[in-house]
């Protein structure tokens, strides 16, 4: 990508610039901006995939979603003859769930409920704007210092109001194996809606409660993961705090293979979840 020296030179309006994550296509830095205060600076190499990058920015910048970091500013910048997109984004101080899971931490029941509440708050708003995230997974969820969960990385999000960027004849749609619903990785475009995100939420909840992804565990290849996603019948969940089994049944309904077997909308799923919370004597934060 480029050096920290180049970043400092091209963004004189920023101070306290520090590297957070350096990758082949995207680098993330923390910085301070006089107007926006603490920010995350993202530098993304366009590399012919401008449409997806710009759609991701458009989705977030033109909307205000709960538990999604805001985008303050974006534009083009040139380093060493290559064009990059820079993004000033709300900085969230926290850790992604993948790192937390790999540390051996087991999420307590109440924390999983908080996660579900925050994700439902977000996907209900996405649903109202006809947007499907399509990549809800532990790597794309941050837990901040206050215990709030944030959904990030809209890189393969689908705006159902716009023309799809994926070829209709493609064998597979954009996805992460083990978290994507069958209709998503099979590129069945007409079936993709908020229920696709509900499937992913169910898988994440299962993984946090049990410490394993049922579709990834024991799989020997990418194709094996997809086959398990389509065919595996998960054992009934057993959650000690869920004495009547309602939350267990709810999570398993989210993870149904057929999209018509899941709750018909994110709003209805959230309402169902709140009913379960009330029966447990809890309130969503």
Question: Which CATH number goes with the domain that contains 113?
Answer: 1.10.510.10
- Which residue range is the domain that position 12 belongs to? 4-90
What DSSP letter does each residue of 168-211 carry, written as one string? TT-SS-S--TTTS-HHHHTT-GGG-SHHHHHHHHHHHHHHHHHS
Q: Is residue 282 over pLDDT 90? A: no
For the entire predicted model, the pTM comes to 0.92
Confidence of residue 148 (pLDDT cuts 50, 70, 90): very high
Domain boundary (30, 63, 90) is at 90
pLDDT tens for each residue of 17-70: 999 988 777 899 999 999 999 999 999 987 766 778 888 999 999 899 999 999
Domain boundary (72, 90, 108) is at 90
Taking the CA atoms of 116, 118, 119 and 120 in sequence, report the sign of the dihedral they define.
Answer: positive
pLDDT tens for each residue of 194-243: 999 999 999 999 999 999 999 999 888 989 999 999 998 877 788 999 88
pLDDT tens for each residue of 76-114: 998 888 889 999 999 999 999 999 999 999 999 999 999
Confidence of residue 272 (pLDDT cuts 50, 70, 90): very high
Do 163 and 248 share a domain, yes or no? yes
Do 76 and 181 share a domain, yes or no? no
Confidence of residue 122 (pLDDT cuts 50, 70, 90): very high
How many degrees, rounded to 5, is the angle at CA 106 between CA 151 and CA 177? 50
Domain count, the chain: 2
């Amino acid at each position: 990508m480029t050096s920290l020296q180049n970043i400092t030179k091209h963004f004189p309006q920023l101070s306290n610039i520090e590297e957070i994550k350096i990758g082949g296509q995207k680098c993330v830095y923390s910085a301070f901006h006089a107007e926006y205060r603490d920010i995350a600076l993202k530098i993304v190499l366009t590399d012919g995939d401008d449409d997806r990058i710009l759609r991701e920015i458009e989705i977030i910048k033109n909307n205000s979603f709960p538990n999604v970091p805001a985008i303050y500013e974006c534009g083009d910048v040139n380093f060493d003859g290559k064009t990059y997109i820079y993004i000033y984004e709300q900085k969230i101080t926290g850790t992604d769930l993948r790192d937390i899971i790999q540390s051996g931490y087991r999420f307590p029941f109440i924390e999983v409920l908080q996660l579900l509440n925050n994700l439902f708050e977000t996907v209900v708003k996405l649903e109202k704007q006809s947007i499907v995230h399509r990549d809800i997974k532990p790597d794309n969820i941050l837990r901040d210092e206050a215990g709030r969960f944030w959904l990030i990385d809209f890189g393969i999000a689908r705006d159902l109001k716009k023309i799809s960027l994926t070829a209709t004849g493609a064998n597979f749609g954009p996805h992460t194996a083990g978290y994507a619903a069958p209709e998503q990785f099979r590129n069945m475009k007409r079936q993709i809606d908020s229920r696709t995100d509900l499937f992913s939420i169910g898988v994440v909840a299962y993984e946090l409660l049990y410490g394993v992804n049922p579709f990834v565990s024991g799989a020997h290849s990418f194709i094996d993961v997809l086959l398990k996603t389509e065919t595996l019948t998960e054992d009934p969940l057993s959650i000690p705090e869920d004495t009547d089994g309602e939350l267990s049944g709810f999570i398993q309904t989210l993870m149904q293979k057929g999209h018509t077997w899941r709750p018909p909308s994110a709003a209805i799923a959230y309402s169902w979840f709140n009913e379960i919370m009330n029966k447990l004597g809890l309130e969503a934060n």
